[in-house]
Structure 1
Amino acid sequence: MRRTKLYMDTVVDIHVATVRPKEEADAAIERAFSAFRKVEDACSRFHPDSELMRACRRIGVPVPVGPYLFEPLRFAMELADWTNGVFDPTVGGTMEKFGFNRRYLTGDIADNPSDASAAYQDVEMDVRNRTLLLRKPTVIDLGAVAKGFAIDLAVRELSPFERFIVNAGGDLFAGGADGRYNVWNIGIRHPERRDESIQTVDISNEAICTSGSYERISAAADGVHHIVDPRTKRSPNVWVSCSVIAPYAMLADAFSTAAFLLGEEEALSLLEQAELRGVLVKPDLRIVKVGGM
């Protein structure tokens, strides 16, 4: 069974192979899609009425938030702390200035106030009371964690089935084995030739997510794409593609972005410390592998 819907500005494709009743699989697939809707409603900075953007409009006061926002934001904040701000979810204001501010459903341009000096240290999260407090006007961007979080929630609904894939625009989790009862063989997109793979990897019950400089290019500034270094306010060019394999999609999603923001030695060290595997591609298309790949 295969179903496709549009969520989070991307095509979400769910494929399930099972001997269980079709009705059971159909119901699980719908619950999996529902997870994407809930995460989008909570985490999108392109929806003015999302839970995230409502919270961003309240400065200096604790705002109670639900788990579909609190959990991915808490993870993003932990990674920001671990990388000393190289990965920083408060980069949303900078991204909007570079033109990544168009609401994809309506085409309207978002114009959210933000303080250029805001950083992750200006975000306070209370785990006990599940609240979010912003000390400065800040546009939080969860693009590097929210999709992975949604994939993981969808996987939870599909885990009873023998074989399945949740693919959200190329970021995916492959459960079980493929139709030949082998591991899944997944292609990593070629940075220059959209319909080709530059490398394939074998995975089973794992996620693989890719961050690349070729996907979204700024129309407002030369040399800027949708991955922006919060320290320099520019896009790094050490890599053109970073793919990370992890037990969970949110891990793979976030660490592929964090690795992209780092130099070669630092990126490889980060993935090794996290005990993750990676396939990273240089601008000259040289492939660098880490974690026993």
Structure 2
Amino acid sequence: MRRVEHIMGFPISLLVEGNENDSENDGENGVMTAEAAEPAFDWLREVDARFSPFRADSEVSRLDRGELARDEVSRDLAEVLALCEEYRVATGGAFDVRLPGRGLDPCAMVKGWAVQRAAELLTDLGAKRLCLNAGGDVAATGGPWRVGVRHPERADRLCTVLSLTDGAVATSARYERGDHILDGRTGRPATGLLSLTVVAPSLTEADATATAAFAMGAEGIEWAASREGCEIFAVDARQRVFRTPGLPVAA
């Protein structure tokens, strides 16, 4: 089953493969149908409505305007804000969703967190072999899946191809949106890296670690590599390539 929708400002594609002997999934020959996956996409649309800083009526916007107290937010938003604070402290302020002169913007945490939960929901619904791709960041189960890492300066080239069984891959880079990742310590764009890819057990961790490390600049490579369960592929501003020994490169 394949399905693609545009949610949270980027395409989200789902591929679910089934086994004809697997009777636990919905649909012919045990393959999950598009309709059966609807709760996961409903969840992603709900997240967009509740947590987008670009929607005036979202919970995030209401909190930022002072219409909600911190102890009045939902359990989900409280969890996201706690994760944001964890990464702010861990990076010495490089990762910060409250930059001076800007409103509260937890998007760097929300994306991976929300898509990871969607993947878990699909698993609970019976999908055993799935690949959920959100704007190039991937959560997968039942692999191996082959995940290409784009060359940071050549859109038609790959730097490497990873083999992912159960886990996630996320990349932060400058090639799609320019200098959009800011170093919270200075408020200026982070320019020490061209791209940084993280493989981790969950997309929550992979995406947040990739963004946080990119915000730190060149020092973020070592920081990300030191995170438990994380493997790294990075290209710095001088086009030097770094990779951790356990990076799951496809044969």
- TM-score interval w.r.t. the shorter chain? 0.7 to 0.9
CA distance in 2, matches of 1:65, 1:72: 11
Matched, 1:155 2:119: yes
Which shows bigger deviation, 47-56 or 153-162? 153-162
Which residue, out of 93, 98, 106, partners 1:90? 98
How many pairs were matched up? Answer: 237
Residue matched to 2:131: 165
3-state SS in 1 of match to 2:132: strand
Deviation at 1:262, TM superposition (A): 2.1
Matched, 1:68 2:76: yes
Residue matched to 1:201: 162
CA distance in 2, matches of 1:241, 1:277: 14
3-state SS in 2 of match to 1:79: helix
Alpha-carbon spacing, 1:88–1:25, altered in 2? closer, same or farther (3 Å): same
Which residue, out of 9, 18, 27, partners 1:22? 27
Which residue, out of 85, 107, 110, partners 1:146? 110
Which shows bigger deviation, 253-262 or 266-275? 266-275
Deviation at 1:212, TM superposition (A): 0.4
Alpha-carbon spacing, 1:281–1:157, altered in 2? closer, same or farther (3 Å): same
Residue pairs, 1:1-293, within 5 angstroms: 1-19=1-19, 20-22=25-27, 25-58=33-66, 61-62=69-70, 64-91=72-99, 116=101, 139-159=103-123, 160-177=126-143, 183-217=144-178, 225-290=179-244, 292-293=246-247
Superposed CA RMSD in Å reads: 2.0
Identity of aligned residues (%): 33
Contact 1:209 1:243 in 2 (8 A): yes
Contact 1:227 1:235 in 2 (8 A): yes
Structure 1, gaps ≥5 residues long: 92-114, 117-137, 178-182, 218-224
Which shows bigger deviation, 263-272 or 154-163? 263-272
Deviation at 1:261, TM superposition (A): 1.8
Which shows bigger deviation, 269-278 or 252-261? 269-278
CA distance in 1, matches of 2:70, 2:223: 36
- Structure 1: 4+ residue segments shifted above 6 A: none
Q: TM-score, normalised on structure 1? A: 0.75
CA distance in 1, matches of 2:70, 2:181: 29
3-state SS in 1 of match to 2:98: helix
> What amino acid sits opposite 1:81 in the alignment?
V
Q: TM-score, normalised on structure 2? A: 0.87
